[in-house]
């Protein structure tokens, strides 16, 4: 199974947010989407999840044209994303946040409750289940965001800066969690990440964006050896 | 103490009706940011159903009133509000005025605008002793019904699938759609619940007043809107508390104001409302993220 973006272009007014970018995500692999601020990473994830219609280009899910699908259709077909801002329901408990996603897949309330606890347990959040979401720490909030995404039975999981605001220890823990999710849910994962060290360990492939264009792609080693990447992303002489 | 009990029963029987009405308005507002003025007719029309069926057995008349309210509310949602969904709240507000006016005129057309006698709960006209004083049975029933409905609604929202979806939609509609919550179903659920509450208010309020006229629902809905604002728009707990509060304050003013000032009870009530809003412009329990709706 494949989620594929071909020659995607997105413009906001005169600004080219994404220009002629192609990216392919297979089931069972972890791809890192990296680049400086304003490179178009989130815009590309928005396009891949139906939140942004591209000006040009095509999105295909398992070969089927999904370019004009609304966001909830992507989600229903297993393309699930998280948000930088997480967007939990602040007034509901952690368990209820996850249950809502499960109920959305057609489960009854009792079944949803049971499964929500399993997912929370899987992510080490059992102790948080009864807390209101607004009481969570930053790191826990992000993990609950991932729990809610897992509840939607993702085949492709798009994580928008899941490690933002976490300390190094938490971020490394998150990396292990993401790898575990790939193994246990056998889904394809696209991670937006700033921290190069984390990305290098986690991802099989990297896709580097700079000012809306693809700067480099390949294995982490290939990307690191790419002169254009060294020049633009790490700075000259890096 | 002995003369406090009837005052309290009075206060809570009035406040309870305001609370149920405010909740009916609040349920729809929280899910789709629609301040539904047509809620007045969700109350008035079933009250007319009670009038039309006044010769029928009580159970049948009340069931019919409930059915009429639900059908009317679903039809209104489908015909008037669904085509406007996603348009700015001001447009939907105007649309709800239009629906309200249309239904009101329709009632004048069908029944003329004179008062029609109704007495759907005639068997509750007596009194019962409570804490050593005699308490009007209808008012006691009103208080109990309101409390039971508040508890039932709370349980529904907390423990059922539809309730969970409604709360999720109320907190973040866009996110909920993404999580697979069906927008149409959640909104229809909100309208059905709102109509059920409106029908109950129609039965209890018409039993208290003894008549129905085309602006029957409006008088209570106007106050309930004030209650919703006091409680905090978009917050159901706030709507319920605001409703009770306004009812209780109105009754206490009626009871304890000097007799010469009693005709101006509403002026004092709204003065208090203004003072509250001066200090808490978002209401007593402000809802989160009222503006954020992307």
Chain A 20-59, residues with CB within 8 Å of chain B CB atoms? none
How far is A230 from A115, CA to CA, in rounded Å? 45
Provide the angle, in degrees to the nearest 10, between the axes of the packed helices B4-32 and B39-52: 120
How far is B268 from B16, CA to CA, in rounded Å? 20
Digit-coded pLDDT (tens) for A50-66: 999 999 999 999 999 99
Q: What is the pTM of this model?
A: 0.86
| Of residues B159, B164, B178, nearest to A103 (C-beta) | B164
**Partners of A25 in the beta sheet?**
A3
Judge: A108–B161 Cβ closer than 8 Å, yes or no: yes
Q: Measured between CA atoms, how close is A41 to chain B, in angstroms?
A: 20
User: Coil, strand, or helix at residue A155?
Assistant: coil
Element (H, E) at B22: helix B4-32
Q: Measured between CA atoms, how close is A77 to chain B, in angstroms?
A: 11
Digit-coded pLDDT (tens) for B78-128: 999 999 987 888 999 999 999 999 999 999 999 998 999 998 888 888 888
Token digits of residue B158: 């907390």
Which residues on chain B are in Cβ contact (under 8 Å) with A111? none
Res B292: pLDDT: 42
| Of residues B159, B172, B177, nearest to A89 (C-beta) | B172
Q: All domains of chain A, ordered by start, with CATH?
A: 2-88+152-232 (3.40.50.300), 89-135 (no CATH)
The per-residue b/e assignment along B243-253, b for 16 or more CB within 10 angstroms, e otherwise, is: bbbbbbbbbbb
Quick check: B13 and B139 in contact, CB under 8 A? Answer: yes
The predicted model gives A74-90 an average pLDDT of 91
How far is A52 from B231, CA to CA, in rounded Å? 37
Token digits of residue A158: 């798009």
The predicted model gives A160-189 an average pLDDT of 90
> Residue A183's CB: how many other CB atoms inside 10 A?
9
Res A233: pLDDT: 67
B86 touches chain A (CB under 8 A): no
**Backbone region of residue B232 per phi and psi (left: phi > 0; alpha: psi in -120 to 50; beta: other values):** left
How far is B190 from B243, CA to CA, in rounded Å? 19
Res B293: pLDDT: 38
Domain boundaries, chain B: 4-225
Digit-coded pLDDT (tens) for A194-232: 777 788 889 999 999 988 999 989 999 898 888 888 877
A73 touches chain B (CB under 8 A): no
Band (A115; pLDDT cuts 50, 70, 90): very high
Which of A235 and B130 is assigned the larger pLDDT? B130
Quick check: A57 and A94 in contact, CB under 8 A? Answer: no
| Of residues A72, A89, A101, nearest to B171 (C-beta) | A89
Low-confidence spans in chain B with pLDDT less than 70: 1-2, 287-294
Q: How far is CA B39 from CA B95, B216, B250, in A?
A: 12, 11, 22
Which residues on chain B are in Cβ contact (under 8 Å) with A148? 179
Res A187: pLDDT: 93
Res A93: pLDDT: 94
Q: Best-predicted range by mean pLDDT among A9-13, A82-86, B95-99?
A: B95-99
| Of residues A76, A91, A112, nearest to B288 (C-beta) | A91
The predicted model gives A163-183 an average pLDDT of 89
């Amino acid at each position: 199974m494949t989620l594929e973006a071909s020659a995607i272009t997105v413009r906001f007014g005169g600004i080219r947010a994404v220009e002629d970018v192609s990216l392919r995500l297979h089931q069972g692999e972890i791809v890192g989407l990296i680049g400086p601020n304003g490179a178009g990473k989130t815009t590309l994830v928005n396009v891949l999840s139906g939140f942004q219609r591209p000006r040009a280009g095509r999105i295909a899910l398992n070969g089927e044209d999904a370019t004009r699908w609304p966001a909830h259709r992507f989600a229903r077909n297993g393309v699930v994303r998280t948000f930088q801002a997480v967007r939990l329901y602040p007034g509901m408990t952690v368990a209820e946040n996850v249950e809502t996603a499960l109920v959305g897949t057609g489960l009854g309330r009792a079944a949803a409750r049971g499964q929500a606890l399993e997912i929370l347990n899987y992510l080490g959040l059992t102790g948080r289940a009864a807390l209101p979401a607004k009481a969570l720490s930053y790191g826990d909030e992000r993990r609950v965001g991932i729990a809610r995404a897992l509840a939607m039975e993702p085949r492709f999981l798009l994580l928008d800066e899941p490690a933002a605001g976490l300390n190094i220890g938490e971020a490394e823990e998150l990396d292990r969690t993401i790898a575990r999710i790939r193994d246990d849910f056998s889904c394809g994962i696209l991670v937006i990440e700033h921290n190069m060290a984390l990305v290098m360990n986690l991802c099989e492939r990297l896709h580097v964006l700079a000012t809306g264009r693809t700067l480099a792609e390949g294995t982490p080693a290939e990307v690191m050896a790419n002169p254009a990447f060294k020049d633009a992303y790490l700075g000259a002489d890096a | 103490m002995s003369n406090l009990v009837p005052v309290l029963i009075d206060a809570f029987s009035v406040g309870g009706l305001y609370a149920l009405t405010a909740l009916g308005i609040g349920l729809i507002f929280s899910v789709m940011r629609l301040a539904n003025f047509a809620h007045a007719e969700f109350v008035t029309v079933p009250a007319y159903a009670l009038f039309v069926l006044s010769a029928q057995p009580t159970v049948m008349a009340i069931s019919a009133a409930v059915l009429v309210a639900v059908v009317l509310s679903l039809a209104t949602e489908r015909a008037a509000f669904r085509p406007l969904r996603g348009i700015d709240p001001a447009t939907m507000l105007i649309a709800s005025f239009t629906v309200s006016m249309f239904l009101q005129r329709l009632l004048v057309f069908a029944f003329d605008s004179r008062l029609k006698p109704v007495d759907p709960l005639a068997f509750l006209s007596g009194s019962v002793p409570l804490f050593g004083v005699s308490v009007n049975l209808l008012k006691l029933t009103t208080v109990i019904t309101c409390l039971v409905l508040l508890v039932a609604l709370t349980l529904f929202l907390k423990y059922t699938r539809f309730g969970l979806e409604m709360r999720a939609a109320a907190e973040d509609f866009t996110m909920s759609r993404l999580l697979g919550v069906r927008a149409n179903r959640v909104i229809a659920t909100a309208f059905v619940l709102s109509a059920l509450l409106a029908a109950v208010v129609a039965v209890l309020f018409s039993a208290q007043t003894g008549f129905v006229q085309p602006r029957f629902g409006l008088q209570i809905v106007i106050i309930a809107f004030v209650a919703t604002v006091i409680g905090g728009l978009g917050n159901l707990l706030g709507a319920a508390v605001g409703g009770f509060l306004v009812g209780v304050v109105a009754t206490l003013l009626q009871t304890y104001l000097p007799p010469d000032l009693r005709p101006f009870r509403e002026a004092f009530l709204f003065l208090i409302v203004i003072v509250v809003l001066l200090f808490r412009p978002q209401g007593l329990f402000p809802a989160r993220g009222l503006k954020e709706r992307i």
